[in-house]
Structure 1
Amino acid sequence: MLEVLGLDGTTEAVYRHLLTHPERGVADTARALALDESDVRRALDRLSALALVRPAAGPGPLHTVRPELGLQALIARREEEIAAESSRLAASKAAVERLTAELAPARDVSPGFERVHGIEAVRDTLAAVRREARTEVLVLAPGGGPSGDPYAGPLPDESAPRRDVRTRAVCLHSVRNSPDALAHARRLSEQGGETRTVPALPVRLVIVDRRLAILPLDAERPGAGAVIQYGGGVLAALSALFESIWEQGEPLSGPRRRVDGAPDSTERAVLRFLARGLTDDAIAKRLGVSSRTARRVSTVLMKRLGARSRFQAGAEAARRQWV
């Protein structure tokens, strides 16, 4: 109930107990609450940091600050933080509005932008630019075959370029478990294309002839709309991003690479996500796997590293040069 003020369940329980039993020390409090003494000490450290307990001037090991004083002060501090965050959010909203205005449609202008809205418009745009391709199509897409995601199919049959147009697609490792994705990759190979896989992708992306790039307006809703980037430095940066990811990819037609004793590319990605503090659900979304699978991989890695926390796992992985 008091987590928003910085007190987790154990810390709140210890605080409540000391309010009614101020004479009790660590051992007595631990017995009363059925906790380990180490848990009580951590709770006391947290309460001290929040100025809710301090060394007693008189009898008793600690002085516990009454809630009408200590908690009200925390509430006031939290309200100030929320007000400051609201101010920053308002400034960010204004910046986003300015950026949106700058991304006005600019067809036939190079360099420039165009925006399209709605999943059908996105599909039509992707199909059109693939048909117009002259030399190459580069794709970053989570899946390996047609689905509800307009970027999921690296090369839908109905919009396939000519055979002299080279197509390279990078998908997630998870597509290796999909018969449809594998069949789609075979069709792509028959048309002269290549597919590689990586553990995670930073963005959905289609680049055609190095002259334009298409990526979602909203990364969480790829069908909501798309930005078309024509030429310029941004396109060059996106092309370099694709080449970097392509070099890290593993051919879908071959087995996954692995060095004995070292984590594979998926495990390395999970370790990077752990170090960043991502939850299992967030990791699963980035890897294109179930939350249960992400949780299992995280648990196994933490055991291998002898880590008790996600942050510790990331730090130990960095020490071993695994990430």
Structure 2
Amino acid sequence: MSQSVYRYAVSSPGWTIEEASEALGLTTRSIQGAIRELVERCLLVQANENQHSYTAVSPDVALAELVDPDERALLDLRSRIGAKRRELAGLVPIFAEASRQVSTDASVEVLENPEQVLRILIEYARSASESVLMARPGQGATADTQEESIQKDVDLLQQGIERRTLYHSSLRDHMPTRKAIEIVTAAGGQFRTLPHIPLRAVIFDHKVAVVPRARDSRDRAGLVVRDPDIVQMFVYMFEFAWELGEPFLTKDPAPGQLTSTQRSILRALASGHPDEVIARRMGISVRTCRRHIAKMLEDLGAESRFQAGVKAHRAGWI
């Protein structure tokens, strides 16, 4: 409707609402609504206030009228952004120098805020030049989080940076983690598992270690360790655990062999612990724990858990 009124206004200089109503067969109310819309878009201007006649305006002129204020505001915003960028750019050398001074003076830095810990991990990951060693106990991340980290890991490997990670054995059953590891392994990443990982740690270039303070279960603070002797101790601990670990992407064990997770479950069963306790200690779900137990009972040909314990001992499994 607005287009019909605009077309009529262009072809009929000095027109009025009544004339447009008769020519277009539209009610005056409909035409008034179209006029308001066209005026808002700067496509019509009132020519004669007394007769309520309107003059059509070229779309190019109307566009300039509508956009010019926004363009001026945008230019002003860009100018202010540029000024702020130049102002903050002058602080970069100061920050870099202060950071280097902290690295020199502080052997251990405490970060109370988890967001600070995350920022420092990202910063050191970007600046790593030789290696990134990670010990990661606990549950696996979601598929979305894994997707975000895959490319970062691949980029590190393409730069020739060594990437090794220790995971808890239970994560072999966590599909988002497993799929991510398959991709990163193909790019050169290395992953192993242990049934128990005593400490969460990330070690960059054998020079800096980021570990949790862990005063209690609610403590979310992190420690950035730069003391060479302490960092080397973390490296030794990681290498020791790495040698004990099993490759993450292993085939199913041959008959008569157990994974580290299954061995740990068997030892817990032999000690008389119920499934819920075993699952909690192993960091796996009760359902996964029972699936492992059922598989071992089948392999041993045992009809009860007690019988499985006896046969496992005779077979040298425990």
Q: TM-score, normalised by structure 2?
A: 0.51
In the other structure, the counterpart of 1:269 is 264
- Following the alignment from structure 1 to structure 2, what is the Cα–Cα distance between the partners of residues 254 and 301? 18
**1:253-268 alignment runs, 5 A limit:** 253-256=249-252, 258=253, 260-268=255-263
| Residue equivalent to 2:283 | 288
SS of match in other structure, 2:163: strand
Q: Which residue of 1 aligns with 2:213?
A: 217
Identify the residue that residue 207 of structure 1 maps to in structure 2. 203
Q: Whole-Å Cα distance in 1 between the matches of residues 225 and 311 of structure 2?
A: 40
SS at the partner of 2:196? Answer: coil
Identify if the C-alpha distance between structure 1 residues 183 and 231 changes in structure 2 by more than 3 Å, giving closer, same or farther: same
Task: Tell me, in whole angstroms, the C-alpha distance in 2 between the residues paired with 1:224 and 1:147.
Answer: 20
User: Is the partner of 2:265 in helix, strand or coil?
Assistant: helix
1:138 correspondence with 2:153: no
Work out the CA distance in 2 between the residues paired with 1:153 and 1:318. 43
Q: Is the 8 A contact 2:209 2:225 kept in 1?
A: yes
The unaligned stretches of length 5 or more in structure 2 are 1-100
Whether the 8 Å contact between 2:137 and 2:167 is mirrored in structure 1 is yes
Residue 117 of structure 2 is aligned with which of 108, 119, 122? 122
Match of 2:84 in 1: none
Q: Counterparts of 2:198 and 2:148 in 1: how far apart (Å)?
A: 16
Q: Tell me if 1:231 matches 2:261.
A: no
- SS for the counterpart of 2:238 is helix
CA contact (8 A) 1:130 1:137 kept: yes
Do 1:201 and 1:286's aligned partners in 2 also have CA atoms closer than 8 Å? Answer: no
2:165 to 144, 165, 169: 169
Alignment of 1:13-24 (within 5 A): none
Shift of 1:300: 8.2
Q: CA deviation at 1:168?
A: 0.6
Pair 1:288–1:144, CA change in 2 (3 A) = closer
Aligned length: 212
Write the letter of the residue equivalent to 1:167: R
Percentage identity across aligned positions? 26
Going from structure 1 to structure 2, the CA distance change for 1:297 and 1:185 (only over 3 Å counts) comes to closer
Deviation at 1:222, TM superposition (A): 8.4
Alpha-carbon distance change, 246 to 300 in structure 1, aligned in 2, over 3 angstroms = same
Aligned partner of 1:137: which letter? V
Whole-angstrom CA distance in 1 between matches of 2:218 and 2:130 = 26
Q: Show the counterpart of 2:36.
A: none
Distance 1:214 1:109 in 2: 16
Counterpart amino acid of residue 135 in structure 1: E
Paired AA for residue 142 in structure 1: P
- The alignment's TM-score, normalised by the length of structure 1, stands at 0.51
Maintained 8 Å contact 1:173/1:197: yes
* Residues 275, 138 of structure 1: alpha-carbon distance in 2 compared, 3 angstrom cutoff: farther
- Aligned letter for 1:267? Q
Please tell me the root mean square deviation across aligned C-alpha atoms, in Å: 4.3
Q: 1:225 to 1:274 in 2, by over 3 A?
A: farther
Which amino acid letter does the alignment assign opposite residue 240 of structure 1? Answer: Y
In structure 2, the CA distance between the partners of 1:203 and 1:322, relative to structure 1 (3 Å rule), is farther
CA gap 1:274/1:144 in 2 versus in 1, 3 angstroms: closer
CA–CA separation in structure 2 for the residues paired with 1:233 and 1:316: 47
Deviation at 1:132, TM superposition (A): 1.5
Corresponding residue number in structure 2 for 1:17: none
Alignment partners' CA distance in 1, 2:277 and 2:237: 22
**Whole-angstrom distance in 2 between the partners of 1:300 and 1:187:** 29
| CA-CA distance at 1:171 after TM superposition | 1.3
The Cα of 1:266 is off from its aligned counterpart by 0.9
Give the secondary structure class of the aligned counterpart of 2:103.
Answer: coil
Give the secondary-structure state (helix, strand or coil) at the position aligned to 1:123: helix
Answering whether residue 192 of structure 2 is matched by residue 180 of structure 1, we say: no
For residues 276 and 138 of structure 1, do their structure 2 counterparts lie closer, same or farther at Cα, with a shift above 3 Å needed?
farther
Give the secondary structure class of the aligned counterpart of 2:123: helix
For the residues of structure 2 that align with 1:219 and 1:267, how far apart are their CA atoms?
31
Distance 1:132 1:178, change over 3 A: same
Match for 1:177: what amino acid?
D
- The answer (yes or no) to whether the contact 2:150–2:183 under 8 Å persists in 1 is no
The verdict on how the C-alpha distance between 1:242 and 1:172 changes in structure 2, with shifts beyond 3 A counting, is same
Q: Alpha-carbon deviations, 1:160-194, whole Å to 9, x = none?
A: 53521110112123323333212321342354311
Give the Cα–Cα distance (whole angstroms) in 2 for the partners of residues 234 and 277 of structure 1. Answer: 39
In the superposition, relative to structure 1, how do residues 158 and 165 fare at CA in structure 2: closer, same or farther (>3 Å)?
A: closer
Deviation at 1:239, TM superposition (A): 1.3
